[in-house]
Amino acid sequence: MANENPIQSVGRNIQEKASVIWNVANSLFGAYKPHEYGLVILPMTIIKRFHDCLLPTHQAVLAKYEEVKHLAVKDGFLRKASGYAFYNTSPFTFETLRADAENIEDNFRAFINGFSENVQDILAQMGFGDQIKRMADSNLLYQVIVDFCSEKADMNPQKITAVDMGYIFENLVQRFSESYDEEAGAHFTSRDIIYAMCDLLVTGNAGGDARTIYDMTMGTSQMLTCMEERLHQLDAEMEITTFGQELNPFTYGIAKADMLIRGGNPDNMKFGDTLNNDQFDGYAFDFIISNPPFGIDWKREAQAVEAEARKGAQGRFGAGLPSKSDGQMLFLLNGVAKLKEGTGRMAIIQNGSSLFTGDAGSGPSEIRRYLIENDWLDAIVQLPNDSFYNTGIATYVWIVTKAKPESHRGKVLLIDASQCFEPRRKPIGNKRNDITDACRSLIVKAYGEYLTADYSETLANGRAVSCRAKLMEANELGYSKITVETPLVDANGKKVLKKGKPVADTDKRDTENIPLTEDIEAYLAREVLPYNPDAWIDRSKTKIGYEIPFTRVFYVYKDLEKASDIAERIKVHEKSLMDKLNTLFGEEK
């Protein structure tokens, strides 16, 4: 793909337009706290975008409304007149609103009420009616309308494309998130990461007649938009339908508004908590792309999640439950449950804890076991640190598929792309590194070749980037946690028996993890019996566990400096120091 991440590719004009819109906050200062600015700016931006889209057909809609207003069903006529899946039958525009300062609240409410129900639903979800009253009571409403009448705030689709508008919304949401101190895993994924995920998803996949895409935590829906764009680059005639669910009412409103303007089905954009209010029960998708929140607890969803887990294979969470302090692996299971059998592929972001948290038999280990033993886990890619706007921690893209090619069966590819980035000239929040075109191509090449190898490239600026791939047999990721027992002895040193069998000494009980690739009896004979000849394994306590040993797999041992070299370096340093001291004291004499 030729697309870069937002800050490098969209150009200064998009950033400036987002800044102009955000500067409306100057009018809100005092009546609103900084973390509340988005309550006005985000819905007002949506309203202005709708207004500017509809302005060229405004008079045609008013004329058609006069013809059909007596009909019971008139939506179809008005949508056709507007050219969009939405319309506004109010006579007001932003210019006519600005012309009547004395009646601004009544007129603005009439303007809002003139929108079709699908637009009013978005604004109601955002609670914008309360903000109209709050602005009017503070004598701010008129000034905000005037600010959005600025030529620099013109969002006519002839000037601002849907893609550019997506960038603007991303920028605004980012600013709102920063002012509100959003959690590390919430909301925001930059375009460079999204494009890398899209390319990983389509690698090795041919086009087709139709494809469905789902994002379970869609934010402003930019992952869906980018994936749709990528698939259309492969096959311009492909029919693509997108689906998404979002908990935050503001980003949900942006996603639904974007869908309306682009001519998609806004009913596919659902509001609610994916964990306890799944809006896509029974659906199955070709592609899933998502960045769920991590490090955020699921206590409020616990009752519904645990009830569904008790359904076993009939529910989404039967494989196991993670700790209540971090629900990211629940989203992973939700995605697996919604992948089409035989064709479904998912790219989902997780932090490092999903790789190794939990011992054998624990919820996280059982989730990993579920993926690996069903041969659905295809690859995991470690992204560079400092790639996200609101967190600098290590993150990973998991590629999960129910369409593994024969050459991938029984294997998992690990890719360390932590050094495959270009530093930003100017950080944005925690984001200091970009996955540029060249970096993304290197990562996708490593995944496409699906073998153990090192990859590197020298960029045009002379910087070397690299990534390393390690192809693992799936059973290399598993282990048996065995319990080694030692017989209890009495005061005379004799074994204590019960029903003719030795009783275990619980004080001397030991557990050990044995790789699945190793024979347990051979391990016992080699590592235990020579030192404890009466020991045995309690098979009833054996548990199977799985972990992804990223750090161990890619660890590079560095030879320690020789003692003689250290001593020589110290001697040189001491001589240099003494020379300086002699010079100093010599000058004093």
Q: What is the dihedral of CA 239, 245, 250, 253, to 10 degrees?
A: 40
Task: Give the distance, in angstroms, between the CA of residue 471 and the centroid of all CA atoms in the same chain.
Answer: 25
Q: What is the pLDDT of residue 128?
A: 94
Token pair for 370: 């579920």
The DSSP annotation for 126-167 comes to TTHHHHHHHHHHTT-HHHHHHHHTSGGG---TTTS-HHHHHH
- Give the gyration radius of the chain's Cα atoms: 30
Which CB contacts under 8 angstroms, 24+ apart, belong to 569-576? none
457 and 465 in contact (C-beta within 8 Å)? yes
CA distances from 234 to 139, 229, 268, 290 (A): 52, 9, 24, 21
Count of positions (residues) in the chain: 589
Give the span between the Cα atoms of 1 and 155, in whole angstroms: 27
CA angle 537, 539, 543 (to 5 degrees): 110
Multiple choice CATH, 184-403, 3.40.50.720, 3.40.50.1370, 3.40.50.150, 3.60.20.10: 3.40.50.150
Query: Domain residues of the chain, as ranges?
Result: 6-178, 184-403, 477-550, 563-589
Measuring CA to CA, which residue among 448, 487, 453 is closest to residue 470?
453
Q: Is 564 exposed, middle or buried (0-12, 13-18, 19+ CB in 10 A)?
A: exposed
Show Cβ contacts of residue 188 under 8 Å, excluding neighbours closer than 6 positions. Answer: 170, 173, 174, 177, 182, 219, 388, 389, 390
444 three-state secondary structure:
helix
- Measured CA to CA in angstroms, residue 120 lies from 56, 105, 124, 145, 252 at distances of 21, 17, 6, 18, 13
**Residue 348 dihedral angles phi and psi, to the nearest 5°:** -135, 140
Q: In terms of C-beta density within 10 A (0-12 exposed, 13-18 middle, 19 or more buried), how is residue 276 classed?
A: middle
What is residue 283's three-state secondary structure?
A: coil
User: Tens-digit pLDDT profile for the chain (589 aa)?
Assistant: 334 333 344 445 677 778 888 888 888 988 998 888 989 999 999 999 999 999 999 999 999 999 999 998 999 999 999 999 999 999 999 999 999 999 999 999 999 999 999 999 999 999 999 999 999 999 999 999 999 998 888 999 888 888 788 888 877 877 776 655 454 345 468 889 999 999 999 997 755 688 999 999 998 898 999 999 999 988 888 999 999 999 988 889 989 988 888 888 889 999 999 999 999 999 999 999 999 988 889 999 999 999 999 999 999 999 999 999 999 999 999 999 999 999 999 999 999 999 999 999 999 999 999 999 999 999 999 999 988 877 778 899 999 999 899 999 999 999 999 999 999 888 877 888 999 999 999 999 999 999 999 999 998 888 999 999 999 999 999 999 999 999 999 888 899 999 889 999 999 999 999 999 999 999 999 999 999 999 999 999 999 999 999 989 998 777 777 777 788 888 888 888 888 878 877 654 4
Residue found under tokens 């409403």? 141
Q: Output the pTM of the full model.
A: 0.86
Sole residue written with tokens 């970096």 = 439
Contact 244, 224 (CB under 8 A): yes
